[in-house]
Amino acid sequence: MSGTGARRIRVRVEGLVQGVGFRPFVCGLAGAYGVSGFVGNDPGGVFIEAEGEPSVLDAFTAGLTGQAPPLALVERVLVEPTEPVGGSGFRIVASRRGEQPDGALVSPDAGTCAACLRELRDPGDRRHRYPFANCTDCGPRFTIVTGVPYDRCATTMADFEMCAACALEYGDPGDRRFHAQPVCCPACGPALRALGADGLPAAGDPVEAAAGWLEAGRVVAIKGLGGYHLAVLAADGAAVAALRARKRRESRPFAVLAADAAAAGTLVHLEPAAERLLTGTSRPIVLAPRRRDAPVADAVAPGARELGVMLPYTPLHHLLADRLAVPYVLTSGNLTDEPIAYRDEEALRRLAGVADGFLVHDRRIEAPADDSLVRVFRGRELVVRRSRGYAPAPVGVPWRFPRPVLACGAQLKNTFCVARGNQAFLSQHIGDLESYETLRSFAESVEHFCRIFGVRPAVVAHDLHPEYLSTAYARDREDVDLIAVQHHHAHIASCLAEHGHGGPVIGVAFDGLGLGADGTLWGGELLVADLVSFRRAGHLEAVPMPGGAAAVRQPWRMAAAWLDRIHGDAPPGLAVVGRHREQWPAVVRMARAGLNSPLTSSAGRLFDAVAAIAGVRDVIGYEGQAAAELEARVDPGERGAYPARLIEGEPLVIAAGDLVGAAAEDVAAGVDAGRIAARFHRGLAAAVVRAVRAVGEGTGLRTVALSGGVFQNTVLLEAVVSGLERERFQVLVHSRVPPGDGGIALGQAVVAAANDRR
Ligand SMILES: [Zn+2]
Ligand SMILES: [Zn+2]
């Protein structure tokens, strides 16, 4: 179609443009504008040559960004002129492979789209009830990608040869499966099987068999996108209890899958933002206020005011939800503290004795990914666990990483981060690096990320804590420059990175524990920080943590340490003292002597102490449980707030003991836990605001960044943010990056890069 005035251009498109239907989209766009040429994938993204009239080429180039498909994220379009060659038509050419992938991105997995769902339910369609239907707008991506560029042969779908009908769809530019790499059908794709506890195939339809088991109160392991899940009917209290017991006394709340948004609305109160997140392509678990009449057993989320709900995100989950017509629990297929099982043999071995039946298939999972978990804060997403559906989408930052970085993250809720150019890739949730299995999963996932993003790390960032396994892993890497980043500095930097803010700011980092620059355990910190460095401007009053790790598992020990500091030898006659009277004196002696009792300024431990004193929780089953339950108890009608003094000095100290003492007095006076929880939250928030104001007066800084796992607590977050806004501070809070340790690797990466530049 090249006329007399025709020009030809070479275009490079970088960003999230592979695996999202970008090449078919370019073909369609070229057709619409009458442009000739070709498009293909290479390790750096998408390359295009296009020929046509200049004005048409301009419109075509603008459309590459402006009209891109829903799952695409176009970061750069580079255009250069070249010699016209004539010719007509526009086609997709073979992918070019290269040694150094530099800009190519792998898309996150996307929930089943409406068009595929219609086919699934259409008896006349050849994919009627086919559990692996997908298209260019939906389906597995990251979890099946083995390498780049993104092509079928670089996914686990390479095991399946397309049938003639699928090949036609794949090759037809007018088809919505044009160049959809995981395209398949019952004739050529993966197949579902139901296996009994004995490993033998069940008779009949596999979905029907699994549904029958669930209805009979059994625990069923289901192979999903990013790993195996365990399922029971949500209303079946006995089955839920059995699942908890078999998962080795798991006490975390379970998530519930509902067939659609209307069904989810019978379980939780959904504000519009929550419904948007629930129905979006990422399909996370959304935490929302539980309805009083929700048809869900109490054991699903004991002690919680909220319930985690999600919608089906694969055809298999849809088929099961449609068949059951009631919500089912879907929790990661592992034992407490182990990573999610995703390799078939290993899953069948590890889940034997846990599951009564298995619903499995023969599409391999290359990368494990747990379900993501989000809350809503002021109508925006607040990601708590960033995994399936989110990873490995890049977090764009307005700075360059001078050399490729690997940031190894923290010990708990580990994620890692690889970064190059101006992109940082935060990994899926790995878990607590406390077992060989988790460490292996971490090391394998690091290798996978480095491979698919073509990163050979030159700089490796790690936490200050020498005993974190992530630190040990970093120190084992050869031929790299190591940069140690303080835990709370990394938290604040992760918040700055998410906002593209370079600092300096006043950072408030509230979390469980992180090793401080002075060798004590920090966790209630006010830092004056930028990306390069920080100064500790203030903190919560520090107390001994009697027994170290034992005090983390037993919040009553923190109550003992605080009450002893406040009341000395005459502890008030509180129920928590009575419940632990045999061990109490020894724990107090331990704290006084400083024996195995490291000092901590942790906000998480402060919540623990108040939760124990208020009678909410003495001993926990998972990290953060006491704080979560204290938050759940907050009486929203309560307007009171405990006072806390600020102790002038460098650094400034928030007298947290004032809050604990006031709570203890209220308990002794018979005030209920809901009002105590509210007064504590409101008092702590007010103290934080006053401390920030004092630091602001000293430094002239007017921007505050809030980070750390304690700020997953939206009651505290709202109180602190609104207090700071009343003082006219600009406040940065997390949204797409978790405030907890799952976001810390991003902070480590940007701090390492800032120091690498110098
Ligand atoms: Zn689809
Ligand atoms: Zn087929």
Q: Provide CB contacts within 8 A for 186, sequence distance 6+.
A: 126, 127, 130
Helix-helix angle 625-633:603-613, to 10 degrees: 60
Do residues 330 and 255 touch, judged by C-beta distance below 8 A? Answer: yes
Q: Provide CB contacts within 8 A for 64, sequence distance 6+.
A: 11, 13, 26, 29, 48, 74, 77
Query: What pLDDT, on the 0 to 100 scale, is given for residue 4?
Result: 61
Residue 601 to residue 521: CA distance in whole angstroms? 7
Query: What pLDDT, on the 0 to 100 scale, is given for residue 685?
Result: 98
Residue 326 backbone class (left: φ over 0; alpha: ψ -120 to 50; beta: rest)? beta
Closest to 393 measured CA to CA, from 311, 281, 513, 480: 281
Residue 626 to residue 605: CA distance in whole angstroms? 9
What's the predicted TM-score (pTM) here?
0.92
Residue 403 backbone class (left: φ over 0; alpha: ψ -120 to 50; beta: rest)? beta
Which amino acid is present at 578? G
Q: Which residues surround ligand 1, an ion (CB under 5 A)?
A: 113, 116, 135, 137-138
In the DSSP assignment, the letter for residue 305 is S
Q: In this structure, are strands 703-707 and 505-515 parallel, antiparallel, or unpaired?
A: parallel
Ligand nearest to the CA of 188: 2
Which residues are 380's β-sheet partners?
377
Give the rounded percent of residues in the chain with a pLDDT score beyond 70: 98
Mean local confidence (pLDDT), 582-605 = 96
Mean local confidence (pLDDT), 115-123 = 98
Q: List helix spans (H) across 594-708.
A: 603-613, 625-633, 656-668, 673-699
CA 72, 75, 81: angle at the middle one, nearest 5? 110
* Distance from residue 114's CA to the centre of ligand 1 (Å): 7
| Strands (DSSP E) found in 171-272 | 192-196, 220-223, 228-233, 255-257
* Distance from residue 32's CA to the centre of ligand 1 (Å): 23
Residue 362 to residue 650: CA distance in whole angstroms? 61
* Distance from residue 114's CA to the centre of ligand 2 (Å): 20
Residue 508 to residue 138: CA distance in whole angstroms? 39
* Distance from residue 50's CA to the centre of ligand 1 (Å): 29
In degrees and rounded to multiples of 5, residue 113 shows phi and psi of -85, 170
Residue 724 to residue 649: CA distance in whole angstroms? 22
Helix (H, G, I), strand (E, B) or coil at 82: strand
Do residues 601 and 525 touch, judged by C-beta distance below 8 A? Answer: yes
Compute the Cα dihedral for 97, 98, 101, 103 and give only its sign.
Answer: negative
CA dihedral 128→344→107→409, nearest 10 degrees, is: 150
* Distance from residue 729's CA to the centre of ligand 1 (Å): 45
* Distance from residue 29's CA to the centre of ligand 1 (Å): 20
Of how many residues is the chain composed?
758
Mean local confidence (pLDDT), 667-679 = 97
Q: What is each CA distance from 119 to 122, 178, 314, 361, 745, in whole angstroms?
A: 5, 16, 13, 20, 41
Which residues are 39's β-sheet partners?
48, 92
Residue 743 to residue 741: CA distance in whole angstroms? 5
Query: What pLDDT, on the 0 to 100 scale, is given for residue 758?
Result: 62
Residue 539 to residue 541: CA distance in whole angstroms? 6
Record the tokens describing residue 579, joined without a space. Answer: 């419940």
Mean local confidence (pLDDT), 101-112 = 79
* Distance from residue 92's CA to the centre of ligand 1 (Å): 21
Higher pLDDT, 373 or 399: 373
* Distance from residue 550's CA to the centre of ligand 1 (Å): 49
Q: What is each CA distance from 500 to 428, 538, 691, in whole angstroms?
A: 22, 25, 25
Ligand nearest to the CA of 177: 1
* Distance from residue 183's CA to the centre of ligand 2 (Å): 7
- Per-residue pLDDT tens digits for 515-563: 999 999 999 999 999 999 999 999 999 999 999 999 999 999 999 999 9
pLDDT(43) > 80:
no
Ligand nearest to the CA of 119: 1
- Kindly state the helix (H) or strand (E) to which residue 725 belongs, with its residue range: helix 714-726
* Distance from residue 119's CA to the centre of ligand 1 (Å): 9
Closest to 216 measured CA to CA, from 199, 193, 191, 197: 197
Q: Provide CB contacts within 8 A for 68, sequence distance 6+.
A: 17, 22, 25, 74
Among 259-268, 448-457, 646-655, 656-665, the least confident range: 448-457
pLDDT(602) > 90:
yes
Mean local confidence (pLDDT), 122-145 = 96
Mean local confidence (pLDDT), 359-385 = 97
pLDDT(31) > 70:
yes
Query: What pLDDT, on the 0 to 100 scale, is given for residue 435?
Result: 83
- Per-residue pLDDT tens digits for 237-292: 999 999 999 988 788 999 999 999 999 999 999 999 999 999 999 999 999 999 99
Mean local confidence (pLDDT), 107-129 = 97
Query: What pLDDT, on the 0 to 100 scale, is given for residue 338?
Result: 79
* Distance from residue 31's CA to the centre of ligand 1 (Å): 23
Q: Which residues surround ligand 2, an ion (CB under 5 A)?
A: 163, 166, 185, 187-188
Residue 416 to residue 433: CA distance in whole angstroms? 12
Ligand nearest to the CA of 130: 2
Do residues 74 and 17 touch, judged by C-beta distance below 8 A? Answer: yes
Query: What pLDDT, on the 0 to 100 scale, is given for residue 255?
Result: 97
- Kindly state the helix (H) or strand (E) to which residue 57 belongs, with its residue range: helix 54-66
Mean local confidence (pLDDT), 108-119 = 97
Query: What pLDDT, on the 0 to 100 scale, is given for residue 104?
Result: 62
Record the tokens describing residue 308, joined without a space. Answer: 């985690």
In the DSSP assignment, the letter for residue 50 is E
Mean local confidence (pLDDT), 95-117 = 79
pLDDT(99) > 60:
no
Ligand nearest to the CA of 115: 1
Among 23-37, 316-330, 543-557, the least confident range: 23-37
Say if residue 431 is exposed, middle or buried (CB neighbours under 10 Å; 0-12, 13-18, 19+).
Answer: buried
Do residues 562 and 472 touch, judged by C-beta distance below 8 A? Answer: no
Record the tokens describing residue 187, joined without a space. Answer: 């004739």
Which amino acid is present at 356? D
Q: List helix spans (H) across 198-279.
A: 206-215, 237-246, 261-264, 272-279
* Distance from residue 166's CA to the centre of ligand 2 (Å): 4
SS (H, E, C) 555-568: HHHHHHHHHHHHHC
In the DSSP assignment, the letter for residue 155 is B
Helix-helix angle 673-699:656-668, to 10 degrees: 160
Q: What's the distance, CA 468 to chain centroid?
A: 20
pLDDT(226) > 90:
yes
Q: What's the distance, CA 285 to chain centroid?
A: 10
Residue 391 to residue 310: CA distance in whole angstroms? 18
Residue 395 to residue 89: CA distance in whole angstroms? 37
Cis previous bond, 457, omega within 30: no
* Distance from residue 393's CA to the centre of ligand 1 (Å): 19
Residue 161 to residue 82: CA distance in whole angstroms? 38
Residue 506 to residue 690: CA distance in whole angstroms? 13
* Distance from residue 609's CA to the centre of ligand 1 (Å): 50
- Kindly state the helix (H) or strand (E) to which residue 61 belongs, with its residue range: helix 54-66
53: number of Cβ within 10 Å: 18
Higher pLDDT, 57 or 98: 57
Q: List helix spans (H) across 67-224.
A: 114-120, 164-171, 206-215
Query: What pLDDT, on the 0 to 100 scale, is given for residue 3?
Result: 47
Residue 357 to residue 211: CA distance in whole angstroms? 10
* Distance from residue 229's CA to the centre of ligand 2 (Å): 27
Mean pLDDT of the chain: 94
